[in-house]
Amino acid sequence: MRSTDSSHGDAPIAIHDCSFDGVRIERGGNVILDDISFALPKGSVTAILGPSGAGKSTLLHALTGELQPTRGTIEILQKPMPRSNRGLMGMRRCIGVLLQGNGLLSDLTVGENIALPLRVHTKLKDVIIRRVVELKLNAVGLRSAIDLYPRELSGGMARRVALARALALDPPVMLYDEPLTGLDPIAVGVIVSLIGRLNKTLGITSIVITHHIHESLSIADHVLVVANRGIAFQGTPEQLKASRDPLLQQFLRGEPDGPIPFDTKRQAVLAGA
Output 155 or 17, whichever has higher pLDDT. Answer: 155
Q: How far apart are CA 70 and CA 28, in angstroms?
A: 12
Express each pLDDT in 39-96 by its tens digit: 998 899 999 998 878 888 888 889 998 989 999 999 998 899 988 888 888 888 899 9
Give SS3 for 214: helix
What structural domains does the chain harbor?
A: 13-94+171-254 (3.40.50.300), 103-166 (no CATH)
Beta strands in the chain (DSSP E): 16-27, 30-41, 45-49, 71-76, 79-80, 95-98, 173-177, 205-209, 222-227, 230-235
Express each pLDDT in 157-193 by its tens digit: 999 999 999 999 999 999 999 999 888 999 999 999 9
* Beta bridge partners of residue 173, listed in sequence order: 95, 205
Q: pTM for the complete prediction? A: 0.84
